[in-house]
Structure 1
Amino acid sequence: MKRNYILISMALLGLASCETDFLDRAPLTEITDTDFFKSASDLEIYSNGFYEDINASYQDPGTDNDAINLNGQVTMNQVVTGTLTSANAPGWTWSGDWAKLRSYNYFLQHAQLLDTTDEEIAHYIGIGRFFRAYFYADMVKSYSDVPWYNEALSADSEEMYKACDPRAMVMDSVMNDLQYAVDHISEDIGTRTRISKWAALALQARVALYEGTYRKYHAEIGLQGDYERFLEKAVEACETIMSSGQFSLYGNSGADYGLLFNSPSLDSNPEVILQRASDKSLGVSNNTSSVQGWQWSLSRSLMETYLMADGSRFTDQPGYNRMGFKDVFEGRDPRFKETFTYPGFRRTESGSPYIPKITAGCYDQLKFYPRDESLREGWDMDYTSLPIFRYGEVLLNYAEAKAELGTLTQEDLDRSINLLRALVQMPAMSLSDANAHPDAWLIEQYPNVSGTNRGVILEIRRERRVETACEGLRWNDIQCWAVGELFALNNEGAYFPSLGAFDITGDDREDIAILANPSNTLRLQGLPADVRSNLTLYYLEKEDGTDDGFYLSEGESGHINFTSYLQNPRHFISPKHYYLPIPLSQMTLNPNLKQPYGWE
């Protein structure tokens, strides 16, 4: 019988939210050893609580995919504006991050004691090792070297105060955990809301690709001579999924691509490997409607990444850098209108055309927004199901790993990238053409790519950015490719050729106006009275002389820019800013810890 893992975890693991410090808790073994872990069913119930720790993301905060994020607490915003220090850094607490690890290790220790079949025990040990690997892969991304623990420590254990273990040792342990999970977790679990062998393979591919490319492009960790085996493991994991026949891409249009991200159910979608399912009857919801017009919009840089529908580059179009809002939507890759809120979009069938948020850049996000208004019932009450691992990412991982290894062939592209393109009716990628004519616009973004495969690596990165936009993967990509300077860009929004009134909904009727200030309305003269009365007005300077958070890059014309970047200039320090500082309080508790690169 299916169990909803979120509700079960809330019921069974309520103690996990207790404010009592981890070190002060009574050992769980006083109750659980003898009274709880008696059957495989007990293991399932306990492990249900782990699913809260693996998330489905629906935005790319703090990256170059966002024009602006008004939430100043986004970690990368704090890093690049210099407001994050070891004194105010979050995380690393024994009552938070490390408590998750203790629950996994506790589970693993006691799963081996059950009187049941070896196969069942191995399946659940695989589940525990999957989550431990997921935890440590994230910790290594944040800190590089971290202490490795493979048992549930008691409060007085000296091991809790040991130094960090080397990244190489920790990542080998992560890969060992993932291989065990792949080898022992059941293939057929009857639902895509549970960890299966296929989800373990998808995570193995994601982690191996990340670590392999990280080692290849990051000299500071001293592991550049040991990256190929990770990329080879990524290829192997992807090939296992691809050859299984268990998954395929869904549909044959841009609209079908969009359905992956705004459907009430993904149970029958052949692309979904693992999902976070919604269920109104059980109160399982999300907040995906907030992606449109709340705290962020998407960036000019992301907009320019999408190709034209005929496969040519948008950035090769004459005057591409001065195209107005409506014009940039013409003749583009169909995924563009499934990701960006396009002119004429309506939230309801009978409603007015949606007006994008000028103060956030004008390129409002559409991907993940629930199109069916019956699925939107209020704040944090959206009822769409969200993919966590999907086959499209597997195809991207396969192509990228082979390209970085230098073994990519046209046949490889045809069974990966070109399947993604064919689904939305885009022309196929040619290996020879990509390498013969590398895109100068992409070279500027990724200047450290070199070699005979340079052009195709750049084009795969384009495809990856387009296909997975807003899915929470862009941060990882920028990190592992060692192009952290992209985090520090003052990302721009849409272009406006002047001040005045503009039609941005496509109905040939002016919808918004950008004026110098409330007193300067000369540019509105000549408009019909009914049009003027319905304009949404924006001012570079408000009545009291303060700004409205944005300006145009050329004064009275240009791309939307943001005054917050003027007040807090963004900068990226390499390699320091690829890592987070360990909180000072934890350094005080454990003097054996050392800060990551540059945070001393």
Structure 2
Amino acid sequence: MKNLTKYLAITSLILVSSCRKLDIGPTDAYSTLNFWTADANVYNALNNNYSLMYNSGLYFGAEGLSDNAYSQNNNDLIQIASGNANSLTPKFAGDWAYYYSTIKSCNQFLANIDQNTTLGAITLNRLKAEVRFIRAFEHFNLTKWYGDVPLVTNDITQEEAKTISKTPKAQVVDFVISELKAIVSALPSKDQLPAGENGRITKGAALALQARVLLYQGNRMAEVVTVCEDLMNNASTNGTYSLVSNYSDLFSNPTINHTNTESILSLQYVPATTRTWTDFWDFAPNSVGGRVNALAPTQELVDDYIMLNGRGITDAGSGYDENNPYINRDPRLTATVVYDRYNWNNGGGVNGTSKIIYIKPGSDPTRPGPDEYSSGRQSSSPSGYYWRKYFDPSALANFTSGNNLHLFRYAEILLDYAEAKNSLGQMTAAVWNQTIGALRARAGFTDQAALSYPGGDVTNIIRRERRAELALEGIRIDDIRRWRIAETMLNRYAHGAKFSGDQSTDNGYIRVQLRRFNPSRDYLWAIPSGDQSLNAQLTQNPGY
């Protein structure tokens, strides 16, 4: 592998039947005895692990579990968000199997790669480091959702899998951190990657995952600061990272999306038929080519975008006008969410022309209005909002896109750093300017009231900033769970736009879904019942 934009499956092992001795590998085909001796096979196996690391369904589906979005046709997301999940819920079993199958693939790679004698020690150590990163990432995702989980560090047999016990979450986290620390020296910096290796795991990626894992523990903020400062201040060692000048370009400009100074690690995609994703087909308005709306932004997300003067919409002096709610707002709102009378040509048109998106019932001059809100019509948004973020103007039919999906961005490092410094009582004007102030300036804020350090307790300001900056990137559900506020945010109606003339119910805002979250149960997912039936050591999480 020289280029991770190549989406390759692992070369199948061809097992040849013959009368020759069983310990002699065939010379006319690859077998389990000689597969790893071929350099191309090693790289194909590496590429396979990259392809298994994560996918667009996990990436976007996480939004539907949070208060950022609602999915009207994914039964698993509906069941979990409404508090009706149980140990038989397919997503619990599906995600569990996905992560462990990737771990198994990684362990097979690590168990066999030393059979190769031609790539050289430096190259082999780098490849091992990349796969150890992927394995650590999968373990982190498992313990994030399920708590105590089996820690699997070698290629176990089916019989061993039936007796393996759960490892305490703290021990799994310590393993992940120790792995990430151990592999850094074997990885290149971002600046050392040739263009053909864009997308491979680097020192910066190992530090970014460390920062996220440590941040999510809540009690290791001093370590978060240390890791973030390492990444922010040691460009000569870890690579040069900075915010790109235009927020939307990160997600929608194909050139900048693939190669920029902000992305630390992304899921790699390639236009045309090599490796693509089509999720946006079910995010976009109908009038610009959308199909069935599968993930709708909520009013709660929209409401959290501040005004250009830095105030929240309910703050005194904000200037917010409920009758004209989308003006003078954080520019990231327009970069992320499509609202009534949105100008779709803002950054990319429809066949080169401008298009106004009419969502309020009865407002579209063209009848019937394809994007208008209509209760129960799955082709229209159930919340009266659509997504703009990750719109690819160069996409093929059905929004077939080759744009990358960002797993770790430098913006997240700045947010991690701000949160950690604030939690330690170390927030200053200098830290603010380096983090929140810099993110707002990049977003397009110019009012000093929004850019300057406000002093006092800025906890909620930092949390709101994370939500605005990272919307539709799968982070929000993690945040409200680790802050232990999911029981508030997910124990009420998710709402949509204010289209109803009836002010007696929620002031006219659409009731989209009644959410339920049991704090004594739902901070952990159920261990899949099928796995429990095979392995009695997998005790169930409380409440299931």
Q: TM-score range by the shorter chain?
A: 0.7 to 0.9
What residue number does 1:494 align with? Answer: 497
Q: Deviations over 1:209-266 (max 9, x none)?
A: 11x22xxxxxxxxxxxxx22xx233222222221234111111xxxx21111112233
1:291, 1:368 within 8 Å by CA — same for their partners in 2? no
How many angstroms does 1:497 deviate by? 6.4
Q: What value does the CA root-mean-square deviation take over the aligned residues?
A: 2.9
Question: SS where residue 181 of structure 1 aligns?
Answer: helix
Is the contact between residue 6 and residue 274 of structure 2 (CA under 8 Å) also seen in structure 1? no
Aligned to 2:467: 465
CA contact (8 A) 1:396 1:464 kept: yes
Go from structure 1 to structure 2 and tell me whether the alpha carbon gap of 1:301 and 1:384 turns closer, same or farther (over 3 Å shift): same
Offset of residue 97 of structure 1: 3.8
Show the counterpart of 1:260.
250
Task: Letter of the 1:233 partner, please give it.
Answer: E
Matches within 5 A, 1:491-570: 491-496=494-499, 498=501, 554=504, 558-562=508-512, 565=513, 569-570=514-515
Counterpart AA for 1:291:
F
Shift of 1:376: 3.8
For 1:365 and 1:13, the matched residues in 2 are separated by: 40
CA distance in 1, matches of 2:137, 2:331: 33
Q: Distance in 2 between matches of 1:290 and 1:577?
A: 28
CA distance in 2, matches of 1:495, 1:319: 20
Instruction: Rate the CA distance shift 1:45–1:340 in 2: closer, same or farther, 3 A.
Output: same
Deviations 1:324-375 (A, max 9, x none): 3xx11111111111112142423514354222342412222211122x2x42
1:375 aligns with 2:395: yes
- Alpha-carbon distance change, 192 to 392 in structure 1, aligned in 2, over 3 angstroms: farther
Residue 275 of structure 2 is matched in structure 1 by: 284
Local SS of the residue matching 2:175: helix
Question: Is contact 2:262-2:410 (8 Å) kept?
Answer: yes
Deviation digits for residues 178-222 of structure 1 (CA, Å, limit 9, x no counterpart):
112223222223233211121121111112211x22xxxxxxxxx
Other-structure match for 1:303: 302
Residues 442-453 of structure 1 aligned to structure 2 (within 5 Å): none
Q: State the one-letter code of the partner of 1:475.
A: I
- For 2:333, the aligned partner's letter is F
For residue 266 of structure 2, what is the aligned residue in structure 1?
275
User: Aligned AA for 1:268?
Assistant: T
**Cα distance in 2, alignment partners of residues 352 and 196 from structure 1:** 41
- The match for 1:206 is 212
Q: Output one character per residue of 1:156-179: Cα deviation in whole Å (capped at 9) or x when no partner.
A: 33x641221111111111111111
The within-5 A match list for 1:384-395 is 384-395=403-414
Partner secondary structure for residue 7 of structure 1: coil
1:354 match: 357
Q: Is the 8 A contact 1:488 1:571 kept in 2?
A: yes
Instruction: Say which SS state the counterpart of residue 313 (structure 1) adopts.
Output: coil
1:264–1:278 Cα contact (<8 Å) kept: no
Partner in structure 2 of residue 345 of structure 1: 343
Q: 1:32 to 1:462 in 2, by over 3 A?
A: farther
Task: For residue 414 of structure 1, report the CA deviation from its aligned partner.
Answer: 1.6
SS at match of 1:488: coil
Q: Which amino acid aligns with 2:331?
A: P
- Kindly state the Cα deviation for residue 295 of structure 1 after the two structures are TM-superposed: 2.4
CA contact (8 A) 1:193 1:277 kept: yes
After superposition, residues 46-445 of structure 1 pair within 5 angstroms as 46-52=45-51, 53-55=53-55, 57-58=59-60, 60-66=63-69, 68-75=70-77, 77-92=78-93, 96-115=98-117, 116-157=119-160, 160-187=162-189, 188-190=192-194, 191-210=197-216, 212-213=217-218, 227-228=219-220, 231-245=221-235, 246-251=240-245, 256-265=246-255, 266-287=257-278, 288-293=280-285, 294-316=293-315, 323-324=322-323, 327-342=324-339, 343-346=341-344, 347-348=349-350, 349-350=352-353, 352-356=355-359, 357-359=372-374, 360-370=382-392, 372=393, 374-378=394-398, 381-426=400-445, 427=448, 430-431=452-453, 433-435=454-456
Residues 553 and 162 of structure 1, relative CA distance in 2, 3 Å threshold: farther
Q: Distance in 2 between matches of 1:407 and 1:363?
A: 38
CA distance in 1: counterparts of 2:486 and 2:142, whole angstroms:
18
- My pick for the range that moved more, 481-490 or 401-410, is 401-410
- Compute the displacement of 1:434 (Å): 4.2
Report the residue type matching 1:285 in the other structure. Answer: T
Q: Structure 1 92/32 Cα, relative in aligned 2: closer, same or farther at 3 Å?
A: farther
CA distance in 1, matches of 2:509, 2:80: 25
Q: Match of 1:338, as an amino acid?
A: A
Report the residue type matching 1:199 in the other structure: A
Contact 2:414 2:436 in 1 (8 A): yes
Q: Does the 8 Å contact 1:33/1:110 carry over to 2? A: no
> Does structure 1 retain, via aligned residues, the 8 Å contact 2:258–2:403?
no
TM-score scaled by length of structure 1: 0.73
Q: Contact conserved, 2:99 with 2:139, CA < 8 A, in 1? A: no
In 1, the alpha carbon distance for the partners of 2:156 and 2:46 equals: 19
Query: Does the aligned pair in 2 maintain the 1:272–1:387 contact within 8 Å?
Result: yes
Residues 72, 275 of structure 1: alpha-carbon distance in 2 compared, 3 angstrom cutoff: closer
- Distance (Å, rounded) in 1 between the aligned partners of 2:47 and 2:390: 26
Give me the whole-angstrom Cα distance separating, in 1, the residues matched to 2:60 and 2:295: 12
Q: Tell me if the contact between 2:76 and 2:89 (Cα under 8 Å) persists in the aligned partners.
A: no
Letter in 1 for 2:383: G
From the superposition, tell whether residues 175 and 407 of structure 1 become closer, same or farther in structure 2 (CA, over 3 Å).
same
CA separation of 1:574/1:5 partners in 2, compared to 1, >3 Å: closer, same or farther? Answer: same
Residues 1:582 and 2:527 aligned together? yes
Relative distance call for 1:44 and 1:556 in structure 2 (3 A) is closer
State the alpha-carbon separation in 2 of the partners of residues 571 and 92 from structure 1. 21
Write the distance in 2 (CA, Å) between the matches of 1:125 and 1:383.
28
Cα pair distance change 1:491/1:170, threshold 3 Å: same
Matched-pair contact (CA < 8 Å) for 1:6–1:49: no
AA matched with 1:205: A
Contact 1:192 1:272 in 2 (8 A): no
* Residue 593 of structure 1, CA deviation: 1.4
Q: State the aligned residue count.
A: 479
Which deviations, in whole Å up to 9, do the C-alpha atoms of 1:295-345 show, x marking residues without a partner?
A: 232222111211111222222257989813xx1111111111111214242
Q: How has the CA–CA distance of structure 1 residues 312 and 244 changed in structure 2, closer, same or farther, with 3 Å as cutoff?
A: same
8 A Cα contact 1:40 1:120, kept in partner: no
- Matched residue, 2:377: none
Q: Any stretches of 5+ residues in structure 1 without a counterpart?
A: 16-28, 214-226, 436-454, 499-551
- CA 1:127–1:268: 2 relative to 1, 3 Å: closer
* Cα distance in 2, alignment partners of residues 43 and 14 from structure 1: 12
1:63 deviation in Å? 1.2
- Check conservation: 1:395, 1:417, Cα contact below 8 A: yes
Inter-partner Cα distance in structure 2 for 1:149 and 1:108:
12
Aligned to 1:7: 7
**Structure 2 CA distance for partners of 1:464 and 1:120, relative to 1, 3 Å:** same
Counterpart contact for 2:8–2:44, Cα < 8 Å: yes
CA shift at 1:72, angstroms?
Answer: 3.9
Cα deviation code 1:512-551 (max 9, x no counterpart): xxxxxxxxxxxxxxxxxxxxxxxxxxxxxxxxxxxxxxxx
